[in-house]
Chain A
Amino acid sequence: MAASLRCFLRSGKNTVSALQRRDFHRSAPAAVQMTVRDALNQAMDEELERDERVFLLGEEVAQYDGAYKVSRGLWKKYGDKRIIDTPISEINVLLQAGLRPICEFMTFNFSMQAIDQIINSAAKTYYMSAGLQSVPIVFRGPNGASAGVAAQHSQCFAAWYGHCPGLKVVSPWNSEDAKGLLKSAIRDENPVVVLENELLYGVPFEMSEEAQSKDFTIPIGKAKIERQGNSITLVAHSRYVGHCLDAAAVLAKEGIECEVINLRTIRPMDVETIETSVMKTNHLVTVEGGWPQFGIGAEICARIMEGPAFNYLDSPVTRVTGVDIPMPYAKILEDHSLPQVKDIIFSVKKTLNI
């Protein structure tokens, strides 16, 4: 109680209005702080409780509490049957009739060992069987760059999985995204790839009261406008949503108001939200951590061109992306391999011709 009260008071914007309400019957405060890790943990916990067919398998998910501690406490609570430690065999995808597995990849880099099964067995089966066999499976784990983990452990797979019909692909940014999207993914009848981010696991975000509910889900396929603005549209997914908001705060001081869109879902992509925004702002910058060629930004550019928003553009779309190289190890090189906030600010100004 005391802790939640502290969080409540720290949250600032709700404080004054709540005091004025003088609501004595309301014991729980509006929002709490929760890390992305805990949000994912809560999502899995709630879904494991809700549906007996749901179970988690992966390397070190049970007794080790998870390589990144995302599944902490779950094995203690649910036991061997529901939380399963596997050997190092990524290709252990289970098409278990009637069950709903959550497969954790220690990172998505290792998913390449199993990618044939993900695409050819999971993604395509419902189609190939003309609706006879559905695949309600979730693949989740950290995606993209971490810190100093070098070339083989830093790749972003958003474009790879986003390319394939039959898969749904989500990429949460904050804790609400993480919880809501993972719950939707688990409840979805189709294979869903959940691209988490290791650097975000430990970051606390505000969780609204609504998000704390056991039935809180976020629809797959709908983007969210995190910040409204009129000057230019910024679109990003995962960690770079935060970078865009940081850039927007700096640019606001110069009178440039950015509209920041959090994609939330890579496939199916919510192009409509982007189009509506571009038709208002006339400028678009996409931001991603992955490589430029055939990436998320490239797809957004193509879709904008094919739709009504094209005629509203006052300048070509700018893609801010990772540098087109394998990830180097040395810190100075790694820092220069990924979009920084200053790169976003630079690109916004160039796009606006300022």
Chain B
Amino acid sequence: MAERNLSGLMHNNQSFQIKCHKCDLHRLEEGPPVKAELTREQGLQYYRTMQTVRRMELKADQLYKQKIIRGFCHLYDGQEACAAGIEAAINPSDHLITAYRAHGYTYTRGVSVKEILAELTGRRGGVAKGKGGSMHMYAPHFYGGNGIVGAQVPLGAGIALACQYQGNNQVCVTLYGDGAANQGQLFESYNMAALWKLPCIFICENNKYGMGTSVERAAASTDYYKRGDFIPGLRVDGMDVLCVREATQFAADHCRAGKGPIIMELQTYRYHGHSMSDPGVSYRTREEIQEVRSKSDPISMLKERMLSHNMASVEEFKEIDIEIRKQVEEATQFATSDPEPPLEELCNHIFSKNPPLEVRGTSPWSKLKSVS
């Protein structure tokens, strides 16, 4: 990180007070503070994180159009403040699970851009050795990457149960979208989490559209932060990384104090369509997308804030951008040149801690081998 000392204002640990939007509250007397403290170092780190995710996703778009990435590809650009803000407020030892729009979280949970892109291109250097693909990437304390809408939520409640069981003061961040918010299994999870006071932070990333269906056409109530009924909730500006961080900090404190689960609704937006096969303009206007981009882009917002508070210079941001571009290019080089997984890998990882077993191939004469 460049250390440019302009007018003696650039001290890394000097903290600034940044104003956030007030959150809407449900069953809560008070919410997160409206003034967030931000040091220069933190600001640059959040910027770097969000910009890396942005450039990584745009690269994935490019690779998909070149048919180097196949199958499903759900991109996260526009929503970076959510992943970055949440990670800023939790510990690496906390847990996180999300659905299929997962590349951003895979990165914030510690997987390199190189390993993410190589997984998307289906190579042996991918984080899941090429066997999982876009929707199935994992890391320590990061449980994917789940393809079936809503199914990750009961899993997240279960992880929270494990935290409680082990008394380790950890929390589980359980993410889902506005589309999944209407799944029955969520309500079962809410009930159990509240009943047993599980340290589960349910987070709804409301990007206004469940594939092609707007929230108004899918939900009887679009107040997703209230849908947990007996569970307290807060609605947060998901385009503001500081708001997200403050709210997540508040939520984590709530859980760690043994008060039980809490729901956060992050109001955010995706620039791409639902997936690469959805142009994203049949159910929303280009004007709407453009408006969000120009007025609420999370990365621009943070940058402008830091510039206006004299926390960093334009040159510094440019240098970070250049570094990130280089990093993503190198990762792409790797992801496009690394070989595909070897055929010997085909049947491995069926069972854990199991002696090697024989797996039937496509015919009775095809006997393949599987090791744990």
Contacts and interface: CB of A to CB of B under 8 A. Distances in A.
Interface string B312-347: 000000000000000000000000000011010111
Contact of B340 (A88, A150, A330, A340): A330
Contact of A338 (B132, B210, B362): B362
A273 interface: no
Nearest to A287: B362
Contacts of B19: none
A95 interface: no
Contact of A87 (B130, B131, B179): B179
Interface in A150-165: 150-153
A113 to B, nearest CB: 7
A60 B360 CA distance: 38
A333 B182 contact: no
Given A319-B364, A332-B341, A347-B363, A85 B71 contact: no
Given A60-B213, A323-B359, A325-B350, A89 B183 contact: yes
A329 B121 CA distance: 9
The B interface, classified by DSSP as helix, strand, loop or mixed, is loop
Contacts, number: 156
A320 interface: yes
A255 B337 CA distance: 44
A150 B147 contact: yes
A88 B218 contact: yes
Contacts of A322: 362
Interface residues of B, number: 53
Nearest to A322: B362
A199 to B, nearest CB: 13
B122 to A, nearest CB: 4
Interface in B200-235: 210-213, 217-219
A63 interface: yes
Interface string B343-360: 101110010000000011
B212 A63 contact: yes
B365 interface: yes
Nearest to A149: B71
A64 B217 CA distance: 12
Interface in A328-345: 328-333, 336-340, 343
Contact of A320 (B122, B213, B362): B362
Contacts of A333: 122, 130-131, 340-341, 343, 345-346
B167 interface: no
A333 B348 CA distance: 11
A interface, size bucket: 35 or more
B180 interface: yes
A331 B71 CA distance: 10
Contacts of B70: 147-148, 331
Nearest to B361: A323
Contacts of A339: 362
Interface in A299-354: 318-326, 328-333, 336-340, 343, 346-347, 350
A18 interface: no
A150 B150 contact: no
B363 A330 contact: no
B149 interface: yes
A325 B359 contact: yes
A67 interface: yes
Interface in B86-139: 119, 122-123, 126, 128, 130-136
B363 A350 contact: yes
Taking each of A59, A89, A320, A333, which has the highest tally of chain B beta carbons within 10 Å of its own beta carbon? Answer: A333
A85 to B, nearest CB: 6
A88 B359 contact: no
B213 A85 contact: yes
A110 interface: yes
A165 to B, nearest CB: 27
Given A85-B213, A147-B70, A329 B360 contact: no
A63 B148 CA distance: 22
Interface string B136-161: 10000000001111110000000000
A326 B350 CA distance: 8
Given A320-B362, A337-B346, A343-B362, A329 B283 contact: no
B218 A67 contact: no
B362 A340 contact: yes
B72 interface: yes
A150 B104 CA distance: 19
A212 interface: no
Nearest to A289: B362
B131 A64 contact: no
B282 A64 contact: yes
A109 interface: yes
B212 A64 contact: yes
A190 B133 CA distance: 39
A326 B146 CA distance: 14
Interface of B: 70-72, 119, 122-123, 126, 128, 130-136, 146-151, 179-180, 182-185, 210-213, 217-219, 282-283, 340-341, 343, 345-347, 350, 359-366, 368, 370
18 contacts: A64-B212, A87-B179, A87-B210, A88-B183, A91-B184, A152-B147, A320-B362, A323-B347, A323-B359, A323-B361, A328-B130, A329-B128, A330-B133, A330-B340, A331-B70, A331-B122, A340-B362, A346-B363
Given A113-B151, A333-B341, A340-B362, 17 more contacts: A85-B213, A91-B184, A113-B183, A146-B71, A150-B132, A151-B132, A151-B147, A153-B135, A318-B363, A321-B360, A324-B360, A328-B131, A328-B346, A329-B136, A332-B343, A333-B130, A350-B363
Q: Which 6 A-B pairs have the closest CB atoms?
A: A148-B71, A329-B133, A148-B70, A152-B147, A330-B122, A330-B130
